[in-house]
Every structure is written in structure tokens, then in C-alpha cells.
Amino acid sequence: MKFTSALSILLGASSAFAAPSALPDGVQLVPRIPRAAQRRALRQTSPLIPATSAFKEDSAAAGNSSHVDYSQNWAGAVLIGSGFTSVTGTIVVPTPSAPSGGRRSTQYAASAWVGIDGDTCQTAILQTGVDFYATGSGSVSFDAWYEWFPDYAYTFSGFAVHAGDTIRMTATVSGSTSGSVRLENLSTGRSVSHSFSNQQGSLCQTNAEWIVEDFSSGGGLVPFADFGTVTFTSASATTRSGTVGVQGADIIDIRQGNSVLTDCSTSGSSTVTCTYV
């Protein structure tokens, strides 16, 4: 549930309610705008919103290792189990663009993140990731963020992200209301992290996720960017029993109306790939 104001989407400004931890020199958090009047314009990424339950596809038809479910806002892979304590994955930041027929004046967006909970458990989500923005005129921008839903998300300011950068994302649980996140830009050698404690929402630790998302603003989904392909490599999760890969994960694709917008799959034990279609 990543919350930002419409102003922050356009200008990169935001407001936060907590101090950063373990931030390198020159990296700071930009606080989000707290005023109630402006919260009405906030945008959010949400827990998984199912598409129509009748619209499903089996693994043989999809060519994936697991059956495919459809969501209005999530695409990727979800492990469903118990006792998840961490999740990690690495992406190469894509160059987003407006979809075919997109308007020059419209801003399109998508987000890639790893997280714990938000599918079968919707009381909390621990997540961190990167947003991609593109306009129909061809400009692109990015931001890096973290969140413990249902609290607001916070943007790492000064942690530069560019198309082509390799970003490793990790979320770690230390208790039902505590944990940490870490982003590493392997292309620049920069990293940033944040710790949480005594959070309002309690994690169930029943889901581990590698997700590309169409987030929402003003009560509706934002125009979804053509993100090309996002591939999570070195994808794994840790449980109380040890480390697991993505085998057996539920595959999710975004379906809006009668259009399926993504094609996601897993391969091997540690790769999740989503392509805009």
C-alpha cells in the first residue's frame, strides 16, 4: 500500500512520520504531506484485488509451473505458506513507456517490489521496491520506497535509481509488528535500509511475493505503464524451516475488464518474469 500525494508523483515531494535508520551519507527520507485535505488526493498500492473469480487459467494452458490467477492490480508470483521471515529478489530497472495509443499529457506508472503478506493475509504488508513513471511525451522517472501497510509509504530521497540499474530488494520480519527492509543498487554500490517496530498492522507471515503492480489514486487504478519486462532473479524466501525458491508459487496476471495486461511465469527455482502485453 504505497501512499503518495498527487503532488509527490509529479514533483517527487513527499512526507514521512518516522526517521530513517542506517542511511548512508547523503541519503535522506522526504516526509510525506500530512494534511488531511491533501490525503484525499493520496495514491496507494493495495493488497491484491482479485479479478472476477471465474476468470482463471490452468497451468497447462499458461505454460507455467503453477495455476494462474487474475488480479486487477498485481502481477507476479506469490508463495502461500506459513512462517515467512524474509523475501528477496533482484531486478534490472526497465525503461517504462506509455502503452500503445497513450496520450502525451498522461502520466503512466507501475511498481516492482518484494513483500510479505497482502494476498491471503491483508492486515499488513511489509514491502519495498521501485516505482516507474512515464509520460506519453517520453519522459521517465523512478523512485525507491518502503512501507508497512496500513501506514503510509516513505520515499528514499537521494537513493538514485535509473533505467538499467540492478536493484536487490529484501524485506525481513523480526516479529508480527517489526522488521526491516533494504534496497541495494548493485550498479552504483549504494544501499539504504529502514527498520520498523510496534507497527499498527500485524503480519500473518503467510505470503511471500515478487510483484509488478498497477497502484491506485483517488479511488481508481492509475494509467498502467508499459514496463516491458521485469525479471526477478535470485528470488527466494526464508521460513522458520529454511530457504525456499519460487517453485509452486501462485502466478498472478493483471486483468482489467476483458484485457489481460501481463504475462508472468516462473522458471527454475529463483526466477520470476513478468512482461507487459
From the candidates 147, 184, 209, 213, give the one annotated as an active-site residue: 213
What is the pTM (predicted TM-score) of this model?
Answer: 0.82
- If 0-12 CB within 10 Å is exposed, 13-18 middle and 19+ buried, where does residue 20 land? middle
Active site residue 213: yes
pLDDT, tens digit (0-9, with 9 covering 90-100), for 237-250 = 999 899 999 999 99
| Pair 186, 173: CB distance under 8 Å | no
For a pLDDT cut of 70, what percent of the chain falls above it?
Answer: 77
Per the model's pLDDT, the better-predicted residue between 98 and 33 turns out to be: 98
Quote the distance between the C-alpha of residue 7 and its chain's center: 20
Sorting pLDDT into bands at 50, 70 and 90, what band is 32? very low
Residue 100 has pLDDT above 70, yes or no: yes
Q: How far apart are CA 135 and CA 155, in angstroms?
A: 21
Cell numbers 508459487 correspond to what residue? 249
Going by C-beta distance under 8 Å and a sequence separation of 6 or more, which residues neighbour residue 182? 128, 168, 169, 170, 172, 191, 192, 193
Q: Which domains does the chain have, with CATH numbers?
A: 6-276 (2.60.120.700)
The three cell numbers locating residue 155? 520515499
